[in-house]
Amino acid sequence: MPLRVIVGVSGGIAAYKAVSVVREFVRRGHNVTVIPTGSALRFVGLPTWEAISRNSVPTDLFEGVAEVRHVALGQQADLVVVAPTTANMLASLASGFAADLLGTTVLASTAPLVLAPAMHTEMWENAAVQANVESLRRRGTFFIGPESGALTGDDSGVGRMSEPETIVDFALSCLTPQSLEGKRVLISAGGTREPLDPVRYLGNRSTGAMGVALAGEARLRGAQVTLVHAHLEVSPPSGVELVSVSTAEEMHAAMVALQPAHDLVIMAAAVADWRAKNPSTQKLRKADQPEHWSPELERTPDIVADLGQRKPTGQVLIGFAAETEDIASEREAAARMKLDTKKTDAVVLNLVGERVGFGEVETAVTLITASPQSLTFEGTKSSVAGRLLDALPEL
Ligand code: CTP
């Protein structure tokens, strides 16, 4: 579900990194209202916040008085993040000041409050600042960072704001039930590439976005995640163990080796079904091939079917089914067959085609289990991935 997120920005140089915090929340399908302080606007201007958040940006306590905006924004929020949180902002929040729109919004909100401090090491270590942190912590405020690293000047040390993706992951985890805490989850993602020669391969249009979204959402729910990935066109999430492979054969070996140590295995990769029987070790030259050339292809191992055969008791195995039939019932029948042939506990059906199903776009998937009822989820890949994982206890 899209969340209503307030991103408060206070006046520190790390405000420029807060632009990426906002962008990441929006990318994951959430509705963000940015509330910059006056000093934050001296670092990053209003048009930037409006363009990145795709929402108007309120700055003045005396705007929107008729809608009682000074409290409405806070009352409606699901999550409030202040990034960066300067030493001055910490003092203001610890004392409950309501001198500006961000102050009134924070006080009017009962949503989780996540602070991402950023300041020089001496300031962070100052007793007054630490007392404010302690006081806020005692009242249930969440802190992410600061981390150690290069600061604004030539100095380095503790005080650097956490990376935007880390802040977003952490903030969302404060709202997410830790339903996979203590579970080990193995996910495959991306499209395999089967070489024809050292420069050419047989591949597919998978971007890996669905598997990557599943890995991120599983981690958000407290799981320890291993992501075995072939070619990806999206960045893998932070905080998961990555195993990089290229061909179906390599993915097969990695998945089989890792399977026994995992509680949940999700095969979201787009694995090539055929590979060249004899890939050339030298580049194939046009002149050496006939006008109509048919390389001899052979089948690759069906990885998920093999995992189905080897499945230890208690492990949950989920496959995907990429189907292209126009009629929903035909797609579902084709996917339901894979439940039996591949011995999986569930199959996630998605419709694919030249313009649908690939990339971080709106998607629709259907979760098919032994039960005759199936569940359909629609939304961004992150939200769909989260809802798939939340539906697992029903398996
Ligand atoms: N899969 C696999 N190994 C392969 C091919 C596919 O593990 N060599 C997995 C995919 O990761 C997915 C599931 O099998 O979880 C279904 O993939 P899909 O391409 O829909 O089906 P195929 O097995 O290729 O069958 P078909 O060609 O009949 O659709």
Distance 344 CA to ligand 1 centre (A): 12
Distance 202 CA to ligand 1 centre (A): 15
Ligand 1 binding pocket includes 322 (Cβ within 6 Å)? yes
Per-residue DSSP letters for 246-279? -SHHHHHHHHHHHGGG-SEEEE--B--SEEESS-
How many angstroms separate the CA atoms of 164 and 145, rounded? 11
How many angstroms separate the CA atoms of 295 and 153, rounded? 59
Ligand 1 binding pocket includes 166 (Cβ within 6 Å)? no
What number does CATH give the domain 4-173? Answer: 3.40.50.1950
Q: Where are the domains of the chain?
A: 4-173, 184-394
Ligand 1 binding pocket includes 248 (Cβ within 6 Å)? yes
**To which residue do tokens 């001198």 refer?**
99
Contact 98, 26 (CB under 8 A): no
Distance 220 CA to ligand 1 centre (A): 27
DSSP state of 125: H
**To which residue do tokens 């359909």 refer?**
376
Spatial CA neighbour of 310 closest among 258, 352, 379, 351: 258
Highest CATH level, class, for 184-394 = alpha beta
Q: Do domains 4-173 and 184-394 have the same CATH topology?
A: yes
How many angstroms separate the CA atoms of 92 and 103, rounded? 8
Q: Would you give per-residue pLDDT tens digits along the chain (395 residues)? A: 789 999 999 999 999 999 999 999 999 899 999 999 999 999 999 999 999 999 999 888 888 777 777 889 999 999 999 999 999 999 999 999 999 999 999 999 999 999 999 999 999 999 999 999 999 998 889 999 999 988 887 888 899 999 999 999 999 999 988 899 999 999 999 999 999 999 999 999 999 999 999 999 999 899 999 999 999 999 998 889 999 999 999 999 999 999 999 999 999 999 999 999 999 999 999 888 889 989 999 999 999 999 999 999 999 999 999 888 888 889 999 999 999 999 999 999 987 654 555 554 678 899 999 998 999 998 888 889 999 999 987 66
**Catalytic residue numbers, as ranges:** 204
Q: Which residue out of 303, 323, 366 has the highest number of ligand 1 atoms within 8 Å of its CB and is therefore the one to mutate?
A: 303
How many angstroms separate the CA atoms of 243 and 301, rounded? 19
